[in-house]
Amino acid sequence: MNTAPPENDKPEIESDVTTTPTTSEAETETAFEAGGELVPRGQGALVIADFVKRLPNAPGVYRMFDQNGNVLYVGKARNLKKRVTSYTRIGMQSNRIIRMIQQTATMEFVTTRTETEALLLEANLIKRLRPRFNVLLRDDKSFPYILITGDHEAPQLVKHRGARTRKGDYYGPFASAGAVGSTMNAMQRAFLIRTCTDSVYESRTRPCLLFQIKRCAAPCTGEIALDDYAELVREAKGFLTGKSSVIKTDLARAMEAASADLDFERAAIYRDRIAALSHVQSHQGINPQTVDEADVLAVHQEGGQSCVQVFFFRTGQNWGNHAFYPRADKSLDAAEILGAFLAQFYEDKPCPRLILLSHEVEEMDLIAEALSEHAGHRVEIAVPKRGEKKDLVDHALLNAREALGRNLAETASQSRLLEGVGTTFGLEGPPRRIEVYDNSHIMGTNAVGGMIVAGPNGFVKNQYRKFNIRSEEITPGDDFGMMKEVLTRRFSRLVKEHGSREAAPRDEEGFGPWPDLVFIDGGQGQLSAAREIIDGLGLTDQVPLVGIAKGPDRDAGREKFFIPGREGFMLQPRDPVLYFVQRLRDEAHRFAIGTHRAKRKAALTKSPLDEIDGIGPTRKRALLAHFGTAKAVSRASVPDLLDVPGISEQMARTIYDFFHDNGD
């Protein structure tokens, strides 16, 4: 449990940033073999050696950059001078480090007070900069929590994700939104805690359906006294902190007492609550007897890839697990992967008091000290050798092995599909980054464009982009105009941020910011418009374009494809590439439609009161509670507005003037 946690305090860092441009004098003609390639010796090593002369014997973080300014590596050191000096001795390095050294054109440094601060800063920079030669945590999503609010007389039960800024008690993390949802559903039946928003609570005049089906105690209309409701909230918090057996015992006693008093209706309520508690407890999976609060991390390697499986245990209950596939060089072993994963994973997440690992990692004591400082409580990291804790780690390791096996099979299938796409659409090789564009609107209103991205590992959702159509010159419903705006904004920004295709960075799998193939939802007309935009930006022949026209009667499987310079063609109905492209197009359509619906919903719920300076949520609620609707507020006189709590004479005049700008 985390009670309204304070903001994470970042360590105060003493900055000592140094940069030096690459010099041609640093280049030499000698070469040596690394990974089967001849690499020029001395260029990066001499650049690094020049920096060493000015480095302090102090802890800190260093960054290596290539000649295009891309970050190659972020590292921390107890002694910056000694650590960076080691990079000048190339003969002692692995092929991976040699490649990194040779690409280094300049460096930057930040000194810190302690090595612990350096470790925390390193994790922060790796997640933000995503350097090519570091172990990178992919799919680093925020995990959901259950929040029981603490800023209302009748606390609310709500699913929460993101920054924990709202006052209240947070319980988690849960591995998935589904795990939170099932737990909350059972808790509604067991504790009758409201899940409605505060605004809905304030506006109720009679109980809602949840009260009728015994999922809420309805404090909004006084069906339960606030003191009695507070007792339900106390029991709910007790359950989420591991006191479920005590609560069940108390409920059993209350049920027996109600039965003895012949109050069978009240006894039935207690019976249903006990049944709901039993249900949620029975669906928690493996519930350890000797572990109250811990995360279990296990890593498995196979086929040049790694999988880290994380299990969350809180209040003696299993709150789910999640598999991660960090991006790392194939030369790194399991312990190195796990060590790098640890600091990055907990950089923006609450850390439990115990972390169980499948492998011994380097500097385990230092990592534990850093996580303790970050979390504000003691954190223990251990590799169990026997007993129940060892069983938990073995179970996590088995799940990591199985998850990686499934992922490898999917990756192999994806690779074959990408090879087929490259052949079908005349590319030089398999595309590593595919972008698909689609527009969505209703009669031109709330128009949005959507871009989805797919790569060697499937859909890359953190690269998806939405484009709110801004141009006032576009005729409502003009798909050509909308596509022109979307592509112009996308590729203008791409050139501005990353320069040419050749200069843009790519990861080990060849995935970078420039698309190797772009699908446009539309036929020859849409494709020609897109081609005109790309040519106008000076990107001719740099962006392969393919138009997808829907088949007759919009039949899936009869799509027609258009490529500049070629006649339109269709694929065989059972062609795997056709199925793959259909999946891409459907995902783009889903994303564009979802974005459009969200924008339309926001427009429908927008109130003119939101546009008045000085009207925040509190005054808005007060005005609506007093007048009922925004339209009624617009008709109110200044004296009427002064009757609303919190509305001063000046604010009343501001509101009145907003709705009567003609002076009437």
pLDDT above 60: residue 234: yes
Provide DSSP, 300-338: EEETTEEEEEEEEEETTEEEEEEEE--B--TT--HHHHH
Which tokens belong to 547?
């138009």
Percentage of the chain lying above the pLDDT 70 cut: 83
pLDDT at 177: 76
Residue bearing the bigger pLDDT, 342 or 30: 342
- Residue 97 burial (CB count, 10 A): 18
44-48, 305-309, 337-341, 625-629: the lowest-pLDDT one? 625-629
pLDDT band at 546 (very low <50, low <70, confident <90, very high): very high
pLDDT at 477: 58
What is the DSSP secondary structure assignment for residue 607, as one 8-state letter? -
Cβ-proximal residues to 607 (8 Å cutoff; 6+ apart), any chain: 620, 630
pLDDT at 617: 79
Instruction: Look at the alpha carbons of 382, 386, 388, 391 in this order and tell me if their dihedral is positive or negative.
Output: positive
Asked if 65 and 79 count as a contact pair (C-beta separation under 8 A), the reply is: no
Q: What is the dihedral of CA 423, 427, 429, 434, to 10 degrees?
A: -100
Asked if 210 and 164 count as a contact pair (C-beta separation under 8 A), the reply is: no
pLDDT at 653: 87
Helical residues (DSSP H) of 425-500, grouped into ranges: 479-498
Round to whole Å and give the CA distance between 381 and 352.
10
Asked if 294 and 355 count as a contact pair (C-beta separation under 8 A), the reply is: yes
What are the domain boundaries of the chain?
A: 2-129, 145-282, 294-406, 434-501+510-603, 608-659
Any idea what the Cα angle at residue 284 is, between residues 283 and 286, rounded to 5°? 120
Round to whole Å and give the CA distance between 127 and 144.
20
- Residue 233 burial (CB count, 10 A): 23
Provide DSSP, 378-428: --EEE---SHHHHHHHHHHHHHHHHHHHHHHHHHHHHHHHHHHHHHHTT-S
CATH for the stretch 434-501+510-603: 3.30.420.340
Q: 259: part of which helix (H) or strand (E)?
A: helix 244-260
Mean pLDDT of 3-30: 39
pLDDT at 344: 86
Mean pLDDT of 635-642: 87
Q: What is the dihedral of CA 648, 649, 651, 652, to 10 degrees?
A: 110
CATH class of this structure's domain 608-659: mainly alpha
Residue located via tokens 């606030």: 226
pLDDT at 254: 74
pLDDT at 73: 92
- Residue 49 burial (CB count, 10 A): 16
pLDDT (tens digit, 9 = 90+) per residue, 310-360?
A: 998 887 777 788 888 888 888 888 999 999 888 888 887 788 889 999 999
Cβ-proximal residues to 157 (8 Å cutoff; 6+ apart), any chain: 146, 147, 148, 184, 187, 188, 191, 193, 194, 195, 236
pLDDT band at 15 (very low <50, low <70, confident <90, very high): very low
Which tokens belong to 156?
């609310």
pLDDT band at 657 (very low <50, low <70, confident <90, very high): confident
Mean pLDDT of 644-651: 88
pLDDT (tens digit, 9 = 90+) per residue, 468-494?
A: 876 666 666 567 777 888 888 888 888
pTM value? 0.62
pLDDT above 60: residue 518: yes
Which tokens belong to 306?
């790694």
Residue bearing the bigger pLDDT, 176 or 467: 467
Mean pLDDT of 584-604: 74
**The domain defined by 294-406 carries CATH number 3.30.420:** yes
Which tokens belong to 299?
């890593």
Round to whole Å and give the CA distance between 549 and 347.
46
Quick one: which of 44, 23, 42 has its CA closest to 32?
42
Asked if 85 and 57 count as a contact pair (C-beta separation under 8 A), the reply is: no
In the three-class reduction of DSSP (H, G, I as helix; E, B as strand; rest coil), residue 439 is classed as strand
Any idea what the Cα angle at residue 19 is, between residues 13 and 22, rounded to 5°? 155
For the ranges 163-167, 179-183, 584-588, 601-605, the one whose mean pLDDT is highest: 584-588
Cβ-proximal residues to 545 (8 Å cutoff; 6+ apart), any chain: 518, 520, 527, 530, 531, 534, 563, 564
How large is the greatest C-alpha to C-alpha distance in the chain, in angstroms?
A: 97
pLDDT at 257: 78
Round to whole Å and give the CA distance between 73 and 134.
6
Q: What residue type is 106 in one-letter code?
A: T
Bridge-based pairing state of the strands 354-357 and 380-382: parallel
Round to whole Å and give the CA distance between 87 and 47.
10
Inter-CA distances, 430 with 99, 225, 328, 423, Å: 25, 66, 22, 8
Instruction: Look at the alpha carbons of 214, 220, 223, 226 in this order and tell me if their dihedral is positive or negative.
Output: positive
In the three-class reduction of DSSP (H, G, I as helix; E, B as strand; rest coil), residue 175 is classed as coil
Which tokens belong to 372?
């303790």
Quick one: which of 577, 623, 457, 592 has its CA closest to 520?
592
Asked if 198 and 156 count as a contact pair (C-beta separation under 8 A), the reply is: yes
pLDDT at 34: 38
pLDDT above 70: residue 33: no
235-244, 515-524, 598-607, 644-653: the lowest-pLDDT one? 598-607
Whether cis (ω within 30° of 0) applies to the bond prior to 173 is yes
Mean pLDDT of the chain: 80
Mean pLDDT of 179-204: 83
pLDDT at 134: 87
pLDDT (tens digit, 9 = 90+) per residue, 439-450?
A: 775 554 567 888
Note the CATH architecture for domain 2-129: 3-Layer(aba) Sandwich (3.40)
Round to whole Å and give the CA distance between 463 and 488.
17
Residue located via tokens 């490898």: 408
Same fold, 2-129 and 434-501+510-603: no
Residue bearing the bigger pLDDT, 31 or 348: 348
pLDDT above 60: residue 581: yes
Asked if 527 and 534 count as a contact pair (C-beta separation under 8 A), the reply is: no
pLDDT (tens digit, 9 = 90+) per residue, 613-633?
A: 778 878 888 888 788 777 788
